[in-house]
Amino acid sequence: MIDIDKGVLLIAEPFMKDKNFQRTVVLICEHDEAGSFGMVLNKKRKEFVGNYIEFLEDCTFNIYDGGPVQRDHVHFLHRRPDIIPDGLHLSDEIYWGGDFGIVCTLINEGALLEKDIRFYIGYSGWGENQLEEEMMEKSWLTISASNDIVFEKNTSLIWKNSIEKLGDDFRPLINYPLDPSFN
Domain that holds residue 126: 8-182
CATH number at residue 91: 3.40.1740.10
Q: pLDDT value at position 180?
A: 60
Residue 162 CA to residue 167 CA, distance in Å, equals 10
Residue 19, pLDDT score: 87
What is the reported pLDDT for 125? 95
pLDDT value for 15: 84
pLDDT in tens, 80-95: 999 999 999 999 899 9
Characterize 16-43 residue by residue with b for buried, 16 or more Cβ atoms within 10 angstroms of its Cβ, and e for exposed: beeeebebbbbbbbbbeeeebbbbbbbb
| pLDDT at residue 178 in the model | 65
pLDDT of 173: 82
Residue 113 domain-assigned (yes or no): yes
161 in any annotated domain: yes
* 125 part of a folded domain: yes
Q: Which residues are CB-neighbours of 170 under 8 A, at least 6 positions away?
A: 141, 163, 164
Has residue 2 been placed in a domain? no
Give pLDDT < 50 ranges for the chain.
none
Q: Write down the pLDDT at residue 18.
A: 87
Count the domains in the chain. Answer: 1
Please report whether residue 130 resides in a domain.
yes
Task: Report the candidate in 76, 54, 72 with the shortest Cα–Cα distance to residue 63.
Answer: 76
Is 160 part of any domain? yes
